[in-house]
Structure 1
Amino acid sequence: MSIATIAPPATRRSDFATLSDRIAAAGLTTRRPGYYVARIGLVAGIYIALWAVFVAVGDSWYQLIVAAVLAVAFAQLAFVSHDIAHRQVFRTRRPSEIAGLLAGNLGIGMSYGWWMDKHTRHHANPNHEERDPDVVPDVLVWSTRQAKASRGIPRFLGGAQAYLFFPLLTLEGLSLHVNSLRALARPSLRHRWAESGLLILHFVAYLAVLLLVLSPGKALAFFAIHQALFGVYLGATFAPNHKGMEMPSDDRQQPDYLRRQVLTSRNVRGGHLINTLLGGLNYQIEHHLFPSMPSVNLRRAQPIVRDYCAEIGVPYTEAGLIGSYRQALRYLHEVGAPLRRRRDA
């Protein structure tokens, strides 16, 4: 099952079917090839140009500025890979997989197959305590139930996790690379050899360029700044989308598709700058409802979805960027309360 096919078949009696009709009537599900040619060309051009600047600057501490800007370019390439995985760019699997492998594995050192499997399960059951891999308590806890049952690192960090959240994001880029390499051991990984070859080529080329151009100390500093800011950028983009929203579990009655997606997601308000910085993921509700919709169309879909949710009485959550972080951090602090009480006892 691909990310693009998780939406249920629309029936005329479902709320989602009515909304789908309105979205289709507005022409928002059609492909936008011109937009993606321009966007992918721009991101790829900036990515290549920054590596050219890196070589031109040479063995200098000014490379730390290049590292910071390159972290942004890596994140933007990750957003492109995200859209490719959702079949927003290509309609069929084969060109999507080829482009995804080039952007993900070769471009940023992320296993396209591993990430797509993980993200598909997230879309099918967003924020679900047992089924969404994005809320597994591996380092942080995401519910009071997880906090009470936690062991090891989550138990040790959970009481202060709201304060540690952004510092821990500096490790998110490295975590992505490590999990990608681990995924190569899975026989079930599609195109395992192609994934392995491209990932290894990325890491060998990345480290070789750093060590050939920079002294060891500067190379280590570049690596640390680049990977840390890459992780913070990615984590800060995804954090406002679901953290602090409803968390279903298997002991609760599951809502229908529309409510499952809307009630667990939060939009981030803002203009074109926020839309560019967050890769269109600020329209998280619309993206979850229509994952194969080109991200450039989400802005136009937003008022249709918001008005329809008001019409049928479904809460529709949106906040500014800072407000969304505040809500997410407040929620993380609240769910860590059982661990603080246990430590104080």
Structure 2
Amino acid sequence: MLSRQVQHAGLLAPRRRYYAWKITLTAVALAIGWSAFALIGDSWWQLGSAVFLAAVFAQVGFLGHDAGHRQVFATRRANYVLGVLCGNLGIGLSYGWWTGKHNRHHAHPNTEGVDPDVMIGALAFSGTRAQAGRGLQLVLFRYQAYLLVPMLFLEAASLHGASIRALLQQATQPGMSRRANGRHWAWEAGLLAFHLSAYLCAVFLVLSPVRAVLFILVQQGLFGFYLGCSFAPNHKGMPVLDADDKTGFLRRQVLTSRNVRGGPLTDFALGGLNYQIEHHLFPSMPRPSLRRAQPLVAAFCAERGLPYCEATLLGSYAQALRHLNTVGKLTRPGSPVEVPA
């Protein structure tokens, strides 16, 4: 069994030294970015710090992702603390909301009506959904392959908005502020509010109004673009399953996921998400162990005749865009519902 091979190789064991360095270096990079922002002052050179902080925010997000899968620490509480520090405080995203959404994705990847990552209002990944669009949504579906890149620049704003809405909805539910996603609601809401207020105050106190707005647009736009470019290769353009599909766990995770080829630089830039197949099969596997697990998983799939999808980074984007374009064409009158193989 694959799970025995992975355990025997020690690939599920904690990687404390790796994460100690990773957390330290990421925190230092974040401190450097904001220190540079304070020292540069009201200058157009702040666009440079905006670009740097966009990249650092994404790296903080990757750490929050690892914490959400309990890859970093042995206890749920320690991972939760790291998660809210990275998400709510560090980059302004609700860790509780995101983990709930992300866990649904892992349970049913690329599954119509179940996976929140394929239930995006402005995008359609299947012919059925594309042809169900109406009005403006139908227009967006038709040209989605061309609109995807511009829409990625709005990803951070979308995540911030969803985080705030989720916390506000929890606050209106009886008892939610003290339990469940709501168990630590006060901490999540407080840290998120602190991040947003501190971020906006710092930007508008240091910069003139025009430069402040431009800084936010560049920093948040590139932050969202970076995240979107990291997530897009993973499942976009892979098979979309029906909600009642009975495919088993192994086939479901492998058939709907795509790996991105590359070396250490790719591993760093994509936060380990380039090993999407291994990550979906073993979500709690520490990030640095995914590279070592890859040949074991690939061989296991080959023995069982399971398609194991790998592509270059640019190749994965091309596959995703071709799929979106094919689905978009199905919005034309008289088009078949099925996406051509």
Q: What TM-score, normalized to structure 1?
A: 0.92
Q: C-alpha distance in 1, partners of 2:293/2:244?
A: 33
**In 2, are the aligned partners of 1:142 and 1:335 still within 8 Å (CA)?**
yes
Alignment CA distance shift 1:32-1:153 (3 Å): farther
Partner of 1:130: 113
Q: C-alpha distance in 2, partners of 1:203/1:342?
A: 48
SS in structure 1 at match of 2:22? helix
CA shift digits 1:227-256 (9 cap, x unpaired): 11001000000000001111111344x211
Q: C-alpha distance in 1, partners of 2:97/2:125?
A: 22
Pairwise mapping of residues 183-194 of structure 1 onto structure 2 (< 5 A)?
A: 183-185=166-168, 186=170, 187=173, 188=176, 189-190=181-182, 191-194=184-187
Partner of 2:203: 210
Tell me whether 1:326 sits opposite 2:309 in the alignment: no
**In 2, are the aligned partners of 1:141 and 1:154 still within 8 Å (CA)?**
no
Partner of 2:219: 226
**In 2, are the aligned partners of 1:137 and 1:146 still within 8 Å (CA)?**
no
Letter matched to residue 22 of structure 1: Q
| RMSD over equivalenced CA pairs, Å | 1.2
CA shift digits 1:122-167 (9 cap, x unpaired): 0000000111000004111111010011124431211110011010
Partner of 1:277: 269
Tell me whether 1:196 sits opposite 2:160 in the alignment: no
Alignment CA distance shift 1:137-1:149 (3 Å): farther
Q: C-alpha distance in 1, partners of 2:94/2:44?
A: 31
Identical columns (%): 54
Following superposition, which runs of at least 4 residues in structure 1 exceed 4 angstroms of deviation? Answer: none
Alignment partner of 1:143 out of 91, 114, 126: 126
Does 189-198 or 126-135 show the bigger shift? Answer: 189-198
SS in structure 1 at match of 2:331? helix
Pairwise mapping of residues 92-107 of structure 1 onto structure 2 (< 5 A)?
A: 92-107=75-90
Partner of 1:306: 298
Tell me whether 1:262 sits opposite 2:254 in the alignment: yes
Pairwise mapping of residues 1-345 of structure 1 onto structure 2 (< 5 A)?
A: 18-185=1-168, 186=170, 187=173, 188=176, 189-190=181-182, 191-252=184-245, 254-341=246-333
Which ranges in structure 2 are unaligned for 5 or more consecutive residues? 336-341
CA shift digits 1:107-127 (9 cap, x unpaired): 000000000000000000000
Which ranges in structure 1 are unaligned for 5 or more consecutive residues? 1-17
Q: C-alpha distance in 2, partners of 1:197/1:251?
A: 40
